[in-house]
Every structure is written in C-alpha cells, then in structure tokens.
C-alpha cells in the first residue's frame, strides 16, 4: 500500500460530524433567534455537523415531508435499474383518486416516471406518489414497508411511515433530525435538483389537459441559494419545511416542524440559513471526481497506470476564523493486476483535522486497464522486429 499525505492549515472543524463549539442537540440554542415550531434542526450537508437543534428527536407528524423518502426510493429505483425516467406508468383508480395536493392524474392514462417524480418534488402531488409506489413495489403497502426499511438503514430511529403521501394516518411520525438525514440522502441524487428548482411549470396530460404546477417551497424563489426541500401541512402536523441552500462551498439543511403558519416557517428557515452562512464556512480538500496527481500502477495491463480520483468530496465545516491543522491521508493499493475496471475502488482518502478523523472516501479509477494478452505481445514483437 502506498501512502501520500497532503497537509493544509485552514479553517476546519474538529471532531466527527460536529462543528467546533456547536451543541449536539437538545434545547440549548446556538442561534441568536430561536426558530418557531415544535422542533427544529440545522446542519451542514457535507459533514452532518450540527449547528442547531431543538426537540430534534421528538416524534411528531411531518405531513408531506414524508415524500422525501418517497422521492429517495424512486431515485434509488432508477439508480438500481428497476425503473427508468422514460418508463410509461399507467395510473390506477386508487392513485388517481387521492385527495389533497395533486396533479389530477387520469385513471388508465400513462405518464413517464420523470413526470411523476417531478410533480412530487414541485407540487407535492399525492396521486403521483401512489402511482410511483404501486409501480416500484407492486402496491402502496409494499412501498411503505420499503420506506420503513430504508429509514432503519439510514439510522432514522424515530420515524414510522403509514403511507407514501403524508396524509393523516396513525401511527405515523418522524422527527426533525431524521427528516434532515433523509433529505441529506436525497440530495446525493443530482437529478433531484432539476426538479426541486422548478418554480412554475405546466404538467401535460396525455388526454390534452394541462395542470399548472407551482413549487410549494417558496424559498426556492425568494431565498438566495435555496434550491431544494419539501414542505408539509396538515392540521395535526402544522406547517413544516425541510430545505437546503448553498453558498460558495457550504450547503446547509434546515428543518422546522409544527410552525403556526407558512410565513412563520419560511421566516424561521430563512433566519437559520442567514445566521449559519454568516457564522460558518466549508473548506473542500478533495473534490469528487477530480483526478489526483498520483496514478495507480497496473501490472499485466495494456496501460501501465490509470487515473484515480476520490469517489466523494472531503470537506470540513467550522466557525469562521478557527484555524486548525488538516491533512489528507491517501492510501493506494500497490501494483493492481489487470484487468482493472473503471470505477474500481483502489484505496481510501481520510481527512484529519488536529489528528481527528473528520471524513473518509474511497479512491476509484477513472479509466479501465485491459489485460495485456498474447495478441498484444505478438503485435509489439512484430512492431519491434520491423
């Protein structure tokens, strides 16, 4: 194994998943103005570092914010090859009959998976949620089981889903921290941002009808840097919002549950973002997909070495002005044996700040290396002989 050390002195966070000087949770406030609502949570997207938490594990109804999980499972189905964006999905009578927020899907009509996913992300369409659930899992009940299983995998211990829409049904609950975890996972799917940033768009039905979609997350239009999230409202849950915003290298996730009005929830999330962006910053030490100076040596291949890069970015998050010593420790397997596939894991990179590990990622190949065979040897011999 070969090791390379990259050193840097910069503003970074000490500790794993927790910005320096920031409380891990509970009622203690790290903000000058406490957000409204029954519960709130604010964290860094890249590291999970907690900036603020209030009643973050209290089990509460979250209304349509549960569609974060519905979207996550839909994107993962595409990623796994079980669904494609262009696939035509026929809408059942049950899906078309859903109440609440909807795009008025026609029973028996077909729509692409991308249309349905976009309508969930933009205008919180309940009918599209059920149509996707029935396609992916065979029934909404099967999809709900998958939602709960995925929540458990993500460590969302205070979450239980009873449907894929968030319409009132007992028992069903989540918490501010779990919502942030689910949204953070959803944000890994870059296609999501193509949907979440839409403010106003027409939804075309195959029978010629048009439904106008307006984003339920008003911050997408009115808060600088906000490009995603999910609203929710029922009488039981109150006004809820999970949103993300990015400035420079810093992306934040904020959650408010149980505010008294949409205006109050939007103002609370905006205030949380304002103070966090003013107080904290992010430094990127390795960028996902950017080739490293080092190359991986290949034995028995047509290529002697291959380009390599980090699979995900390595970042550190902290209060502005705090200087700590950071190093990136890169370990690469020596003498890879051909064939080597593109995207193959060949090592790891670990970010340390003041000797404490704050991030880790795989190092993967950016190109393939085929085995050097007898025909290649014959060709080289013929070339050299001539």
Could you give the residue numbers annotated as active site? 64, 67, 124
Q: Where are the beta strands (DSSP E) in the chain?
A: 2-11, 39-44, 50-54, 88-90, 110-112, 200-204, 210-214, 226-234, 238-247, 250-259, 280-286, 295-299, 305-310, 314-319, 323-332, 336-337, 345-353, 356-365
Sign of CA dihedral 55, 281, 223, 227: negative
- Could you tell me which residues are beta bridge partners of residue 353? 326, 356
- Choose among 378, 334, 345, 327: nearest CA to 12: 327
Cβ atoms of 36 and 260 within 8 Å: the answer is yes
Give SS3 for 56. Answer: coil
Task: Say how far apart CA 1 and CA 363 lie, in whole Å.
Answer: 13
Strands 356-365 and 305-310 turn out to be: antiparallel
Give the CA count within 13 Å in the CB-facing half-sphere of 356.
Answer: 13
**Residue 39 burial (CB count, 10 A):** 24
Give SS3 for 11. Answer: strand
Q: What is the DSSP string of 92-137?
A: PHHHHT--SS---PPTT-EEEHHHHHHHHHHH--HHHHHHHHHHHH
Any idea how long the chain is? Answer: 386
Sheet holding 250-259, edge to edge: 50-54, 39-44, 250-259, 238-247, 226-234
Cβ atoms of 238 and 257 within 8 Å: the answer is yes
Task: Say how far apart CA 215 and CA 228 lie, in whole Å.
Answer: 10
Task: Say how far apart CA 133 and CA 83 lie, in whole Å.
Answer: 12
Measured in whole angstroms, the distance separating CA 33 from the mean position of its chain's CA atoms is: 27
What are φ and ψ of residue 332, in 5° steps? -120, 135
**Residue 184 burial (CB count, 10 A):** 20
């Amino acid at each position: 194994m070969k090791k390379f050390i990259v050193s840097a002195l910069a503003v970074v966070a000490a500790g794993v998943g927790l910005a320096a000087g920031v409380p891990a949770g509970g009622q203690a406030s790290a903000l000058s103005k406490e957000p409204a609502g029954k519960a709130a949570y604010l964290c860094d997207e890249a590291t999970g570092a907690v900036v603020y938490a209030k009643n973050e594990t209290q089990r509460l109804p979250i209304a349509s914010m549960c569609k974060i999980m519905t979207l996550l499972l839909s994107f993962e189905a595409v990623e796994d090859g079980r669904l494609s964006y262009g696939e035509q999905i026929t809408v059942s009578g049950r899906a078309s009959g859903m109440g609440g927020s909807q795009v008025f899907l026609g029973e028996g009509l077909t729509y692409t998976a991308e249309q349905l996913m976009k309508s969930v992300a933009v205008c919180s369409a309940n009918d599209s949620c059920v149509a996707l659930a029935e396609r992916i899992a065979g029934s909404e009940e099967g999809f709900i089981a998958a939602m709960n299983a995925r929540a458990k995998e993500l460590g969302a211990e205070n979450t239980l889903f009873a449907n894929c829409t968030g319409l009132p049904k007992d028992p069903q609950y989540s918490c501010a921290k779990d919502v942030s975890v689910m949204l953070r996972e959803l944000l890994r799917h870059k296609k999501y941002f193509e949907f979440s940033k839409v403010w106003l768009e027409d939804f075309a039905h195959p029978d010629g009808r048009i439904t106008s979609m307006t984003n339920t997350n008003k911050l997408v239009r009115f808060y600088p840097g906000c490009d995603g999230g999910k609203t929710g409202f029922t009488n039981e849950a109150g006004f809820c919002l999970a949103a993300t915003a990015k400035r420079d290298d810093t992306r934040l996730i904020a959650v408010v549950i149980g505010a008294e009005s949409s205006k109050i929830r939007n103002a609370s999330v905006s205030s949380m973002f304002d103070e966090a962006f003013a107080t904290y910053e992010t430094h990127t030490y390795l960028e996902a997909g950017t080739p490293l100076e080092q190359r991986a040596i290949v034995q028995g291949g047509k290529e002697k070495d291959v380009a390599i890069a980090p699979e995900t970015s390595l970042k550190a998050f902290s209060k502005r002005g705090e200087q700590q010593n950071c190093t990136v420790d890169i370990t690469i397997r020596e003498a890879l044996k051909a064939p080597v596939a593109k995207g193959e894991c060949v090592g790891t990179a670990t970010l340390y700040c003041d000797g404490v590990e704050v991030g880790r990622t795989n190092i993967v190949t950016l190109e393939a290396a085929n085995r050097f065979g007898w025909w290649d040897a014959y060709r080289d011999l013929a070339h050299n002989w001539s």
